[in-house]
Amino acid sequence: MNSEHTSPETPPALMSLLQADPPLTGSVSAAEERFDRWRRRLGWYLAPTVLAVLWLQPIPGLPEPAGRLLAIVGMTLTLWITEAIPLAATALLAPALCVAAGLGSTRDVFRPFSDPVVFLFIGSFLMGEAMLKHRLNRRFAFGLLTLPWVTASPGRLYLAFAGITAVISMWVSNAAATAMMLPIALSILAELGLRQGARDFRATPYAAGLILITAFAASVGGLATPIGTPPNLIGIGAVERLLGFKITFFAWMQLGLPIAFVLTLFLVWRFSRRCPFPALPLADNRHLLQGELAKLGPWTRGQKNVIGVFIGAVALWMLPGVIAVCAEKGSASPAFLWLNARVPESIVGLLAASVLFILPADKKRDSFTLEWRDAAGIDWGTILLFAGGMSLGELMFSTGLAHWIGAGLAGVFQSHSVIWLTLLFTAIGIFVSETTTNTASATMVVPIAIAVAQAAGVDPLKPALAACLGCSMGFLLPVSTGPNAMAYGTRCVPLKAMMRHGIWLDLAGWVVIVATVLLLGPSLPTKL
């Protein structure tokens, strides 16, 4: 950093946090490491035991194919929860076992791996990778954080950080948004700590508040768009495959954006009250962030390419929904039908990503905006996990297992209303996501929500959407989400603080998701 931008009180080690996007990871205690080892070892023995017991012990009233699938699903869930082997490896193993068990042909069982939603995943991941490669995220964040309104009061940092992180997380992965914002938060906290005379700024209440609001806002912001977090696309895919109902990009935002907005405001309100900042002005420290923004230099050709393609993709994603709302014939209008047939959302994602491979970023170096070595770094494991979960979901319905589970749960809970099932499966989604990844939670919970609602004779769409959104919650523990683990790894957040604030966000999320889905959520047409 140039001398004119450097505060003499700022430690060089902390200033280095601003230099790049470090690969922040969540550090865990020795006890947590022992627990993880124990959990994985338990899965190695428990998974085959569950498979053998369910396979060899017939259940009265359950057809033989459904019984075989139940054994495979039981093994799969055990492996997902214990993470005895990588989640993506389990997602490949389960369909392979289904073929070997005679539950379907290879072509039928693996058909979901070529589902259009899978390609929407790939396209959105590639665009997110391009944003990170060309550092558009940092340009956006530093630009907003240098606004005079933000630095006029430290308390406004909560609103700024929550808002910026949530908006970034709408378009790139929650973990990437957190990894980009946490170093900036740590540097600002160090400056505040020095001005307050704190020996260790990490031990201050406002440090825990700023780090937690950054991590929590990343998970909350992902709710707003279909591509914000994998559970959203899992829910959309399950609804389209199992119920024949298509949720457009715009229609999802009509539901997800209000939830994300309300929960972000709740975060700002809670942390402002519980972890107040010291009354220290930051205006004279704005030069730290301005210096980092200046070091990014003018807009590069690669950045312009990415932002142009991204804006075009978002416009095409939202256009059919806008037409459906504004056109006289709605979703039956010729323009809506033409766009859905010629440029569906998955094709828009692939076209946008493909254009990035074509547009040159630097003619002298013969480099392009996106290159295949960049594509190799996207989260292919999540894509495989999603496809494997879809395969099991389809088999659960085709073998009758979903109906059997749904009828059993409907009988247990005696639930025959959309309101009760929406309340129930939102809570189940939140609870399950505390112990396993949000992606695995949605893969497990959404098909069961649909099956239970169908068995109870009620519209399954709202319970399914609420369950999907609930699976993006889970704020109690470092293992609940990637952003939580990163926040815990900064050593600014005691476990008790994460649990205390996380439980309130879980409860708020449960209330807001249920209310929004019941008020704004779509319903299945009567003919379905």
Range ranked top by mean pLDDT from 17-21, 24-28, 523-527: 523-527
The two three-digit tokens of residue 256, written as one number: 């997800």
pLDDT band at 406 (very low <50, low <70, confident <90, very high): low
Cα(468)–Cα(174) distance, integer angstroms: 16
pLDDT band at 24 (very low <50, low <70, confident <90, very high): very low
The two three-digit tokens of residue 475, written as one number: 């704020």
State residue 300 phi and psi, 5-degree precision.
-85, 165
Least confident segment among 53-62, 280-289, 401-410:
280-289
pLDDT band at 98 (very low <50, low <70, confident <90, very high): very high
pLDDT on residue 52: 94
pLDDT on residue 169: 85
pLDDT tops 80 at residue 334: yes
Size (the chain), residues: 528
pLDDT on residue 6: 33
Beta-bridge partners for 360: 368
DSSP summary character for residue 437: -
Ranges of each domain in the chain = 3-294+377-520, 297-364
Between 56 and 326, name the one with better pLDDT.
Answer: 56
Cα(423)–Cα(428) distance, integer angstroms: 9
pLDDT band at 91 (very low <50, low <70, confident <90, very high): confident
pLDDT tops 60 at residue 253: yes
pLDDT band at 522 (very low <50, low <70, confident <90, very high): confident
Least confident segment among 16-20, 200-204, 313-317, 420-424:
16-20
Reduce the DSSP state of residue 150 to 3 states and report it: helix
Helix (H) or strand (E) run with residue 523 in it? none
Beta-bridge partners for 368: 360
Least confident segment among 46-50, 388-392, 483-487:
483-487
246-to-111, 115, 121, 234, 523 alpha-carbon distances in Å: 19, 14, 16, 13, 11
* N-term to C-term CA, the chain: 62
pLDDT tops 90 at residue 431: no
Burial class (CB in 10 A: 0-12, 13-18, 19+), 178: buried
Between 239 and 526, name the one with better pLDDT.
Answer: 239
Between 98 and 192, name the one with better pLDDT.
Answer: 98
pLDDT on residue 12: 40
What's the mean per-residue pLDDT of the chain?
79
Between 421 and 488, name the one with better pLDDT.
Answer: 421
pLDDT band at 528 (very low <50, low <70, confident <90, very high): very low
Least confident segment among 49-53, 57-61, 259-263:
57-61
Give one DSSP letter per residue of 374-398, joined into a string: HHTTS-HHHHHHHHHHHHHHHHHHH
pLDDT tops 60 at residue 1: no
Cα(61)–Cα(58) distance, integer angstroms: 9
CA atoms lying within 13 Å on the CB side of residue 6: 13
pLDDT on residue 54: 92
Cα(174)–Cα(455) distance, integer angstroms: 35
Least confident segment among 48-52, 266-270, 277-281:
277-281
DSSP summary character for residue 17: G
pLDDT on residue 189: 73
State residue 362 phi and psi, 5-degree precision.
-150, 105
State residue 367 phi and psi, 5-degree precision.
-110, 155
pLDDT on residue 191: 62
In terms of DSSP H, where are the helices of 434-528? 438-456, 461-470, 482-489, 495-520
Q: What digits encode the pLDDT tens for the residues 457-471?
A: 888 999 999 999 998
pLDDT on residue 329: 65
Q: What digits encode the pLDDT tens for the residues 288-304?
A: 667 777 877 888 899 99
pLDDT tops 80 at residue 420: yes
pLDDT on residue 227: 82
pTM, two decimals, is 0.69
pLDDT on residue 16: 42
Q: What digits encode the pLDDT tens for the residues 485-509?
A: 777 767 788 778 888 888 999 999 9
pLDDT on residue 135: 79
Helix (H) or strand (E) run with residue 490 in it? none
Mean pLDDT throughout 374-381?
82
